[in-house]
């Protein structure tokens, strides 16, 4: 993942007040929420961004630990005054606790992690025997990128853009690559799919939402289409359990 100082530098590269990103995180959580069946459970969130998803998770569990390597993201999340959340400033692989968790969330963070095996080993050591790992990542085969490829604006669906690199991304994912990394690192996938069919780039989606060309009804429709066409969606997710020894 790199140093804590390097991670704090990535804070400034993220767009603020993106309506599309708000929808993406909301629907990511709505997709994962049916798996949170135990209200007395404890959960761990790796990477909190500004705390939007942290807040939603906290309402479905008894205790929530939040770990982020960027102190300024933690400061943003703390502004939401989440009563059952405890925050730790740490690299993910360095996080230590005696707790074991029913649910671990790793949404939109594994594209940033250089040493995936170290991270997944940490997850397995922290996850209860029947606990669930939730993963979500941007999808490199999303319709908007395929459109850009056909327009000659991209040379390769999997090539990291300057924007990706400035955000600290070190890899790109499609569904096959995500599945391979999860299985190779000791997880069984029990559910997977796509989140929001996305025909245009983020800034274009933001403009359509801000001008109400895309309203809540259209976004709900795009979310449902993402379930039907996961490989064209803006993000892909997986729900996993540890492989039995």
**Ordered structural domains, the chain, with CATH:** 4-139+163-195 (3.40.50.150)
Distance (Å, whole) CA 84 – CA 225: 35
Instruction: Reply yes or no on whether the pLDDT at 238 is more than 60.
Output: yes
How is residue 128 written in tokens? 């209860």
Q: What value does the mean pLDDT of the chain take?
A: 91
Residues 186-212 have pLDDT tens digits of 999 999 999 999 999 999 999 999 999
DSSP H stretches of helix in the chain: 4-10, 19-32, 52-58, 71-78, 116-126, 143-150, 162-166, 175-184, 202-210, 216-228
pLDDT digits (tens, 9 = 90+) for 66-118: 999 989 999 999 999 999 999 999 999 999 999 999 999 999 999 989 899 99
DSSP string across 18-40: -HHHHHHHHHHHHHHGGG---TT
Model pLDDT, residue 1:
45
Token digits for 79?
Answer: 């502004």
pLDDT for 122 beyond 70? yes
Q: What pLDDT is attached to residue 114?
A: 87
Torsions phi, psi for 236 (to 5 deg): -125, 150
**Residue 241 pLDDT greater than 50, yes or no:** yes
Is the pLDDT at 128 greater than 90, yes or no?
A: yes
User: Band of the pLDDT at 11, cuts 50, 70, 90?
Assistant: very low
pLDDT of residue 15: 47
pLDDT of residue 162: 63
Query: In this predicted structure, what is the pLDDT of residue 170?
Result: 75
Percent of the chain, pLDDT > 90?
82
- The pLDDT score that the predictor gives to residue 159 is 82
For the entire predicted model, the pTM comes to 0.91
Answer yes or no: are the C-beta atoms of 231 and 198 closer than 8 Å.
no
Element at 104 (helix H, strand E):
strand 101-107
DSSP 8-state code for residue 13: G
Q: Are 175 and 138 in contact (CB under 8 A)?
A: no
* Long-range contact pairs involving 58-63 (C-beta distance under 8 Å, separation at least 24): 58/82, 58/83, 58/84, 58/85, 60/33, 60/36, 61/36, 61/102, 61/103
């Amino acid at each position: 993942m790199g140093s804590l100082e390097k991670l704090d530098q990535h804070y400034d590269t993220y767009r603020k007040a993106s309506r599309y990103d708000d929808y993406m995180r909301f629907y990511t959580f709505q997709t994962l929420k049916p798996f949170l069946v135990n209200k007395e459970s404890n959960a761990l969130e790796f990477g909190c961004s500004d705390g939007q998803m942290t807040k939603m998770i906290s309402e479905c569990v008894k205790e929530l630990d939040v770990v982020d390597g960027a102190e300024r993201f933690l400061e943003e999340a703390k502004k939401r005054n989440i009563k059952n959340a405890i925050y730790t400033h740490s690299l993910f692989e360095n996080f230590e606790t005696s707790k074991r968790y029913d649910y671990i969330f790793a949404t939109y963070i594994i594209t940033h992690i250089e040493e995936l095996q170290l991270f997944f080993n940490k997850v397995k050591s922290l996850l209860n025997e029947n606990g669930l790992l939730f993963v979500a990542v941007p999808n490199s085969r999303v319709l908007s990128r395929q459109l850009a490829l056909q327009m000659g604006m991209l040379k390769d669906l999997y090539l990291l853009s300057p924007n990706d690199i400035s955000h600290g991304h070190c890899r790109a994912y499609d569904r096959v690559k995500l599945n391979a990394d999860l299985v190779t690192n000791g997880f069984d996938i029990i559910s997977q799919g796509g989140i929001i069919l996305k025909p245009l780039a983020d800034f274009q989606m933001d403009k359509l939402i801000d001008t109400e060309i895309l309203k809540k009804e259209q976004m709900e429709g795009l979310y449902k289409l993402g379930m039907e066409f996961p490989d064209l969606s803006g993000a892909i997710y997986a729900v996993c359990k540890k492989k039995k020894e």
